[in-house]
């Protein structure tokens, strides 16, 4: 069992099963990058406070930078014996510099570290997800430009309503996803990394941290330089708050909702009953029994994962709803829902961008569906209102009776002669019907 950051007041060894139950290294290792940056910041503060000499500060900083480089090159392999990522980093430093590492954790707490780490993670991943929207936007633009001036059937209540321009249909999702990207960008811009809470009451290193913040930028990647780091305003709130994760999960849930709605449309429109679209084969699977099947598995999984994404948000809301101030160990359970939602949404956005490029419209089928005269009754009512000054309520009733007559008598409105049409309104004739119904 790896060396722990606590234990002086305990006489008995921790129960092995309990240790396995309570450790978090198996998932919080993903925060290594941010925890090391926190430690680099802390080393500068300790040097400013004269707790570390200049040579000691340099030695610790160099070792931490070595470990940070391992993380950046994806060569960081954590020990399963460590309790958490904070302990893992501490023990790695101790292996390299010996007893000097014992000064690294001076006047700080893991409570402060984890709040810093998670905020940094949310900042970075929010920006990463925003970047993924770029390819999705290009794919949507490609799809709508591939079918310019094409009309499709539009629906309300899953019933045929009116014909709509296909590019408008695609743009509806474009604007949904545009708001999603904007929402995430606004979220990332609000994040402020705080430091100096200690366990929860604060630390005597406040002034030293203030000076250290100016020097930490050199350790950041170029896409992290925009992050804001401040001295904590209220240390109790800082270690006990997870609003930022809840807000992030909420934004991801809205993204997932939009992905799921698009997936549902494509699933529906690709059925033989609709047959409006042909889905790209490389994102579909077959049946182990029925040779003819082409199943929209990617879309169904997107729809299915929506429950997971919503559940992750509800899980954290439930964890946080009754916690007394300040930090409680329940909050350790915020990480898996966070990581899960981020991973799912990132994977879906990557694949969806390629999926959309492969969508094909079955134009002949769509053209046949557009012959449904009920799609044009609103246009006829608008014509009567605008051109013949008929009150809308009356125009609505005229067109309603007209479509009902056609249904009951199994005939086309455009095939009705003028005398029959004038029985519904003196303003109707074949010429007007053909113009409006085109």
Please tell me the distance from the alpha carbon of residue 118 to that of residue 175, in angstroms, as a whole number: 30
Active-site residue, from 157, 288, 292, 419 = 157
Active-site residue, from 53, 79, 204, 287 = 287
Please tell me the distance from the alpha carbon of residue 274 to that of residue 257, in angstroms, as a whole number: 23
Element (H, E) at 193: strand 192-195
98: number of Cβ within 10 Å = 9
CA dihedral 141→147→152→156, nearest 10 degrees, is 0
- Is 110 within 8 Å of 88 (Cβ atoms)? no
Q: What per-residue string of b and e applies to 359-380 under the rule 16 or more CB within 10 Å gives b?
A: bebbeeebeebbeebebbbbbb
Tokens for 403, please give them. Answer: 């479509």
Q: How many CA within 13 A on the CB side of residue 228?
A: 9
Per-residue DSSP letter, 324: P
Q: Compute φ and ψ for 296, nearest 5 degrees.
A: -80, 60
Q: At what angle do helices 335-357 and 243-269 cross, to 10 degrees?
A: 30
Please tell me the distance from the alpha carbon of residue 215 to that of residue 202, in angstroms, as a whole number: 21
Planar angle of CA 433, 435, 438, nearest 5 degrees? 100
Of residues 71, 367, 119, 142, the one with CA closest to residue 230: 119
- Is 277 within 8 Å of 266 (Cβ atoms)? yes
3-state secondary structure of 72: helix
Please tell me the distance from the alpha carbon of residue 405 to that of residue 349, in angstroms, as a whole number: 48
Write the DSSP string, 356-370. Answer: HHT-EE-HHHHHHHT
- Is 68 within 8 Å of 11 (Cβ atoms)? no
Does residue 157 carry a catalytic annotation?
yes
Tokens for 378, please give them. Answer: 């609103």
Tokens for 380, please give them. Answer: 């006829």
Does residue 79 carry a catalytic annotation?
no
Please tell me the distance from the alpha carbon of residue 214 to that of residue 58, in angstroms, as a whole number: 17
Please tell me the distance from the alpha carbon of residue 425 to that of residue 413, in angstroms, as a whole number: 13
Catalytic residues: 157, 287
């Amino acid at each position: 069992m790896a060396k722990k950051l606590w234990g002086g007041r305990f006489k008995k060894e921790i129960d092995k099963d309990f240790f396995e139950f309570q450790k978090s290294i198996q998932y919080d290792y993903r925060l290594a990058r941010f925890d090391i940056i926190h430690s680099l910041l802390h080393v500068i503060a300790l040097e400013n406070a004269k707790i570390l000499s200049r040579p000691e500060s340099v030695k610790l900083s160099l070792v931490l930078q070595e470990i940070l480089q391992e993380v950046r090159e994806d060569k960081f392999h954590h020990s399963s014996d460590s309790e958490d990522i904070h302990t893992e980093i501490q023990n790695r430093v101790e292996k390299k510099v010996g007893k000097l590492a014992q000064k690294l954790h001076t006047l700080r707490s893991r409570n402060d570290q984890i709040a810093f780490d998670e905020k940094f993670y949310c900042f970075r991943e929010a920006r990463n997800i925003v970047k993924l929207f770029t390819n999705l936007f290009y794919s949507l633009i490609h799809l709508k430009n591939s079918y310019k001036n094409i009309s499709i059937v539009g629906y309300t209540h899953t019933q045929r309503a009116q014909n709509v321009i296909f590019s408008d249909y695609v743009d509806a999702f474009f604007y949904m996803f545009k708001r999603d990207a904007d929402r995430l960008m606004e979220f990332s811009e609000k994040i402020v990394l705080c430091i100096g809470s200690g366990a929860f009451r604060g630390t005597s290193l406040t002034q030293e941290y203030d000076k250290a913040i100016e020097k930490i930028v050199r350790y950041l990647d170029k896409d992290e330089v925009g992050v804001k780091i401040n001295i904590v305003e209220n240390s109790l709130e800082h270690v006990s708050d997870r609003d930022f994760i809840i807000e992030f999960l909420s934004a991801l849930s809205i993204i997932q909702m939009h992905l799921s709605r698009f997936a549902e449309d494509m699933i529906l429109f690709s059925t033989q009953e609709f047959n409006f679209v042909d889905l790209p084969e490389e994102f579909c699977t077959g049946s182990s029994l029925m040779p003819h099947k082409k199943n929209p598995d990617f879309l169904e999984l997107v729809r299915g994962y929506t429950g997971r994404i919503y559940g992750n948000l509800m899980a954290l809301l439930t964890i946080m709803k009754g916690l007394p101030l300040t930090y409680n160990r329940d909050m350790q359970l915020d990480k898996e829902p966070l990581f899960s939602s981020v991973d799912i949404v990132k994977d879906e956005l990557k694949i969806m961008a390629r999926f959309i490029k492969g969508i094909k419209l079955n134009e002949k089928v769509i053209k046949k569906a557009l012959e449904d005269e009920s799609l044009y009754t609103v246009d006829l009512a608008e014509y009567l209102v605008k051109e013949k000054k008929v009150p809308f309520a009356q125009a609505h009733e005229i067109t309603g009776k007209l479509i009902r007559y056609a249904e009951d008598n199994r005939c086309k409105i455009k095939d009705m002669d003028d005398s029959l049409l004038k029985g519904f309104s003196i303003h109707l004739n074949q010429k007007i019907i053909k113009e409006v119904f085109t």
